[in-house]
Structure 1
């Protein structure tokens, strides 16, 4: 119960401390540079993860595994779509 009563005051204290710290231009520049560095680091990490996933997908697309049931199911469904479309157009 006491924590719920203290939470707004703690948040207010953090806000006041942040504003007080950011009043000086030097501190604003430091904070801005730190945020930019963190943003660049996260973007590099995300791009690296994304490129690894893309490589795996391209490798799989070029050489499908016949024992991969999900992939085989998708291929068979795609093949059936073309056959059904052809039959529908012919009738």
Structure 2
């Protein structure tokens, strides 16, 4: 077990060192930045498409007869109000 942890940590250290050496060269940094930018462009539309499909049925004010939700909403600001009051005093 200890050998596995030691070998994994040494592999991580070697990976970090190799990436630092590779990124020390300016053309490589430019390549890495463009790869990350392209990756973000490919992933972002998928993230937004999934977020639109979320079941947002109760966004905003809770229904007056939904007692568990009303209790949760009424208790929600207690910690932040208490924290704010302690900071002011």
TM bucket normalised to smaller: 0.5 to 0.7
Matches for 1:74-85 after TM superposition, within 5 Å: 77=65
Structure 1 residue 44 corresponds to structure 2 residue 19:
no
Give the match's secondary structure for 2:33: helix
Alignment correspondent of 1:9: 10
Specify every segment of 5 or more residues in structure 1 that has no aligned partner in the other structure, as ranges: 58-74, 79-91
Q: As a proportion of its length, which structure holds more helix? A: 1
Tell me the distance in 2 between the aligned counterparts of 1:5 and 1:50.
Answer: 40
Q: Give the count of matched residue pairs.
A: 61
Tell me the distance in 1 between the aligned counterparts of 2:28 and 2:22.
Answer: 7
RMSD after superposition: 2.6
Specify every segment of 5 or more residues in structure 2 that has no aligned partner in the other structure, as ranges: 57-62, 67-89
After TM superposition, the runs of 4+ consecutive aligned structure 1 residues lying more than 4 A away are none
For normalisation by structure 1, the TM-score amounts to 0.53
Q: From the CA coordinates, give the structure whose radius of gyration is larger.
A: 1
The offset of 1:48, in angstroms, is: 2.2
